[in-house]
Amino acid sequence: MTSTRVIGFVAMTWFAAVSSAAVRTGLDNVGAHQDLFKGKRVGIVANHTSYNSEGKYIVDIFRALEGVRVVALFSPEHGLRGSEEAGAKIGNGTDPVTGLPVHSLYGGTNKPTPKMLADVDVLVFDIQDVGARFYTYLYTMSLAMEAAAENGKRFVVLDRPDPINGVQLEGPVLEPKFATFVGLYPIPVRYGLTVGELAKMINCEGWLAKGVKADLTVVPLTGWQRGMWFDHTGLRFIKPSPNMPDLETAALYPGLCLLEGTNLSEGRGTPKPFRQFGAPWIDPNALAVKLNNLNLPGVRFQPSSFTPTS
């Protein structure tokens, strides 16, 4: 395979000065809200990020709650274990670790069907997001909430931090005529909300299909301040998808992912996704000089080359 000459994008992101703290996620706090689940059959929308701060997986935590029966799992894009590449269609199956049936929400359907929810009383969502409008986990959450509302099921979101902070909002608001599974609602590219806050907004604004309202409960996270970046939370960063290896990549993603709509590669399938971009026809040295002359705060540009594999 021939090398692709590109311009390399190297970022030095300046994070806001917020002291580190022990943040507890909704999953960490679920024990104080177990009455929501007692005597119920629970379905869980989860993936490989669904661990508490002590490293316990969500299924084990819920199985330990008194009177709770976990009956099914629902997986988003990239699958239950987060190993599938972006856009790969995923089938239903059985999780070999927990023995539970897994309904894929990124294969034949993006929304739980009435049949999938037939044996579920409460549907729980617990997945770490990245704070960008076009990350599909948001819409897995909202369509699961929509299905729960349509089928008379309680919907519970276990809240998690917005990793790129809850203060800065950036980018245009989506126009409804452009709605797809990578953007369903009129929110900016960088929306500055936790997944629980976004769930409340979607529900309260009547953005679910036909204005249906969900029986929504958000189990809150505690200790989080809006100005916090993820590295100030005290939580372990688990890469939420194969091309999102660290916080710096998440910080760049809302801007660099826009290149997917062009004839440039944004570095997917390389060790530095969203930290480098290019195409075979670019003069990397000339472009690096031009971009560095813009004196953009917090970033510098240098020539590079790569051959993307995805």
- On whether residue 11 sits in a domain, the answer given is no
| Structural domains of the chain, count | 2
**pLDDT, tens digit, for every residue of 90-102?**
889 999 999 999 9
Instruction: Name residues of the chain where pLDDT drops below 70.
Output: 1-21
On whether residue 172 sits in a domain, the answer given is yes
Angle, helix 137-150 to helix 195-204, in steps of 10 degrees: 50
Domain that includes residue 92, residue range: 26-232
CA 139 – CA 91 distance, rounded (Å): 18
Read off the pLDDT of residues 34-52 as tens digits, 9 standing for 90 and up: 999 999 999 999 999 999 9
In the block, tokens 């990793």 appear at 163
**How many whole angstroms from its chain centre is CA 226?**
18
275 with 228, same domain?
no
Q: Which of 205, 80, 215 is nearest to 147 (CA)?
A: 215
Question: Can you give the pLDDT at residue 15?
Answer: 46
We report the CATH number of the domain holding residue 186 as 3.40.50.12170
Q: Are residues 199 and 289 in the same domain?
A: no
Tokens representing 31 are 């024990």
Q: Which of 202, 232, 262 is the last residue of a domain?
A: 232
Model pLDDT for residues 7-22, shown as the tens digit of each residue:
455 544 444 445 556 8
Considering the domain architecture, whether residues 37 and 160 belong to the same structural domain is answered as yes
How is residue 105 written in tokens? 């929400």
Tell whether 252 is covered by a domain: yes
Per-residue pLDDT at 81: 84
Q: Residue 107: its pLDDT value, please?
A: 87
Coil, helix or strand for 260? helix
Q: Is residue 82 part of a domain?
A: yes
- As a whole number of angstroms, the distance between CA 138 and CA 153 comes to 19
User: Quick one: 64 and 127 in the same domain?
Assistant: yes
Q: 200 and 107 share a domain?
A: yes
Both 49 and 150 in a single domain?
yes
> What's the pLDDT at 299?
87
On whether the CB atoms of residues 123 and 113 are closer than 8 A, the answer is no
The confidence score (pLDDT) of residue 145 equals: 99
Could you tell me if 163 and 275 lie in one domain? no
Identify whether residues 184 and 280 lie together within a single domain.
no
Residue 142 lies in a domain: yes
Reduced 3-state DSSP string for 199-229:
HHHHHHCCCCHHHCCCEEEEECCECCCCCCC
pLDDT given for residue 291 in this prediction:
95
For residue 42, tell me if it sits in a domain: yes
